[in-house]
Structures are given as C-alpha cells and as structure tokens.
Amino acid sequence: MTENAIPRPPVPRSYGAVNWLGFRTLLGKEVRRFLKVHFQTITAPVVTTLLFLAVFSLALGRVAADVHGVAFSEFLAPGLIMMAMVQNAFANTSSSLIIAKVQGNIVDMLMPPLSPIEQTVAVALGGVARGLLVGLVVTAAMSLFVRIHISSLGLIAFHAVMGSLMLSLLGMIGGIWADKFDHMAAVTNFIVTPLSFLSGTFYSIDRLPETFQLLAKLNPFFYMIDGFRAGFIGQADGSVALGIVMVTLVDAGLMLLTWRMLATGYKLKA
C-alpha cells in the first residue's frame, strides 16, 4: 500500500447458507463447558448409576430373578444406562441456558450471526455429546459387574442419540421458559422425574395391570427405554417399530418448538 492509498472499508463477512464457524464455536463451547467439570458431569453419574444398579438388584433381584429370559440385573442395566444419558443431556442444556439468563450473558449466544436453527442444533448437540459420553463411561463401568448383551447395535445407537436429543431439547425448552432456578427444578421434579420412573426403567410393563400398561405406552420415555433395551437383550415390551416412529416424532416436535422459541426471542429478548 502506497503512502497516499485509501484503505478499503471493512466488508461484512460472508458465511454462506450455514455459519459453520459460528456453529462449531457454539458447539465447542457447550462441550468444553461440561468437560471442564468432568468430575461432576461424567464421574458423578457413573457412581449414581452403579448405586441404582446395586440397590435395585439386591432389593428386587430375588423377586424378579428372570425377566424376558435374562437375569434381572441384565434387564435393568440398559434402562439405567439410558436414564443416565438422557438426564445428563437434559442437565447440560437446561443449566447452560438458565445460568446464561440469570448471569445476563445470554446475549453472547444471541448476538453472533447465528440463525435460530443453528443455535438450536449446536446447543442440543452439546447435550447429546454429554449424554453419549456418560452412556459410554457408564456402560464400561457397569460391564465390570453385569454381563452386557448386544443384540442390535443399530437400535442401541439410534435410541441413544434420539433419546439424548429428546431430553437435550426438553432441557433447552425448560431453560428458555424458566426465569430462575426454582422454575427449572419444577420442570425436573414434575416432568422429567415422573416420566423417567414411569417409563419401565426398573420393571417390565408386562407385569403391570392392563390400564397401567396403556398409560405407560402414552409416555414417550417408555419408547426410548424399550427400544434401547431391545438393542441389548433382543426383547421389548412394546412395538420397536412404533417406538422408533414415536421417538422421531417427539424429537421433531421438540426441535420445532425450541426453534420457534429462539426465533421469536421468547423470554430471551426484551
């Protein structure tokens, strides 16, 4: 540049149809956030899940020694693995958004040139990443105490990803809706926990009265647990094909709702 040359004015950066740089940055931030406190986000769920396995196996193992042709502990293990995954996916996204809102730095996510769908997918995938990582670590730890069957790796992978995505999106919806931590606790206590315990995680719904079996089949958590367990032991309480459809539709509905909340700035923009 010569001494008398006029500098060019800055021009807006072109990102194309998808802002991949911003997407990767937001996703990386969500992943690093839970990895930085791995003792709380990865190690603690492993200990909790192994305690559940020990308590329920000792308490119910003799009463229900055989379920669907496998030992009760082997029937129980996949459900506990799935619950560890999805609850941590929920915790990751809900805590990320509610903390950002309470601390006032939610603007750091809203101001960059990211579309609502890019924001939705990036934050949701951060929750999925935590869920899958917890699932892998829990499975490895549990295999030291329980025989882990593998009947269909495809079913396991599908339900692991889609189940984690379901709770990750639900965590985002809760985090956007909540104004304080008490509101977030209400979502956990009155939605996530009841649906989790009534999903067939700790029992086969075949042993329930017919009315309660019908109610269980209205619970979307049942289908992600049942399909995931079928991938391990090869047996399901309900229709695996129907479960795949149900989980996919619920995920699509939650994705659409989350995108809409971010697109309209619901409880995020003044």
Q: Give 214 or 269, the one with higher predicted confidence.
A: 214
Q: What was the pLDDT predicted at 177?
A: 95
Q: What was the pLDDT predicted at 4?
A: 65
Q: What was the pLDDT predicted at 5?
A: 66
Residue 100 lies in a domain: yes
Dist CA 148 CA 240 (whole Å): 20
Per-residue pLDDT of 167-215, as tens digits, reads 999 999 999 999 999 999 999 999 999 999 888 888 888 888 888 888 8
Helix, strand, or coil here: 201?
coil
Dist CA 101 CA 181 (whole Å): 10
Specify whether the CB–CB gap between 202 and 119 falls below 8 A. Answer: no
Buried b (16+ CB within 10 A) or exposed e, 138-168: bbebbeeebebbeeeeebbebbbbbbbbbbb
Q: What was the pLDDT predicted at 70?
A: 85
Dist CA 45 CA 89 (whole Å): 12
Q: What was the pLDDT predicted at 233?
A: 93
Residue 58 lies in a domain: yes
> Domain limits at 66?
20-264
Q: What was the pLDDT predicted at 11?
A: 67
Per-residue pLDDT of 8-40, as tens digits, reads 777 666 677 889 999 999 999 999 999 999 999
Q: What was the pLDDT predicted at 64?
A: 58
Residue 119 lies in a domain: yes
Residue 56 lies in a domain: yes
Specify whether the CB–CB gap between 234 and 92 falls below 8 A. Answer: no
The band of 149, judged by pLDDT with boundaries at 50, 70 and 90, is confident
Residue 6 lies in a domain: no
Residue 15 lies in a domain: no
Per-residue pLDDT of 34-80, as tens digits, reads 999 999 999 999 999 999 888 887 766 555 557 777 888 888 999 99
Nearest 5°: CA angle at 101, between 247 and 84?
A: 35
Q: What was the pLDDT predicted at 3?
A: 60
Residue 5 lies in a domain: no
Residue 240 lies in a domain: yes
How many folded domains does the chain comprise?
1
Specify whether the CB–CB gap between 168 and 240 falls below 8 A. Answer: no
